[in-house]
Amino acid sequence: MPSLKKLLLFITLPLYILDQWSKWWIVLNFPAPVRDLEGNLHCYAEVKIPGFFSLSRVHNQGVAWGMGNGSDWAPIVFLFVPLIALTLIRVFWKKGLFNNLFSRIAVALLVSGILGNLTDRLTQGFFLEELKGAPFFHRLAAGYVVDFLDFTIPVVNYQWPSFNVADSCICVAATLLFISGLREEKAKERKKAAASA
């Protein structure tokens, strides 16, 4: 069974670097989103596969599906939620709750995703041109996550909310934790069946 250090070195660190590199590439090569007179945010997309996939620069201060975007509370709340999540992961690891390969890989992916998006929230507000010279906490509160992968589901013509590498890591981790839980339940059922036979 891989140790936490090995998982952090071989899974978390490379994915964290890929996440941050890809976000900075987007920030340096795409114009910032702009708000129109009605307050709607518009992003400029470089379409790669029309009707299916494009790259765009999206500033997400909220959480999944942009919930909390534009609110005063989201930047503060979502600075603390990742710290609480990292603390809980560490506590659960010490208690031995991640005791199989699927759950351990999920932890490595979760840490990568959490750190990737937390880094954005802590830093991106300091690079906004319109906030140059603003007080420290004002710029910190303006932090956002850089999302840039845009997919449209062709059958229903639904545009999936923009996401990034860190979000992908978190989603894969959630899937692995679900699979891990199912496997553990099946293993318990087999043990019960064997004990009662």
Residues with a catalytic annotation lie at: 147, 167
Please state, in angstroms and as integers, the Cα–Cα distance from residue 86 to each residue in 14, 60, 173, 186, following that order: 18, 21, 14, 28
Report the DSSP beta bridge partners of residue 158.
Answer: 153
DSSP-derived pairing of the beta strands 41-42 and 45-49: unpaired
Question: CB atoms < 10 A from the CB of 74, how many?
Answer: 20
Return the structure tokens found at 44.
């400029």
DSSP classification of residue 150: E
Question: CB atoms < 10 A from the CB of 197, how many?
Answer: 5
Matching residue, tokens 């603003």: 134
Q: Number of C-alpha atoms within 13 angstroms, CB side, residue 191?
A: 6
Please state, in angstroms and as integers, the Cα–Cα distance from residue 140 to each residue in 2, 33, 69, 146, 194, following that order: 37, 19, 15, 15, 57
CA distance 67 to 63: 5
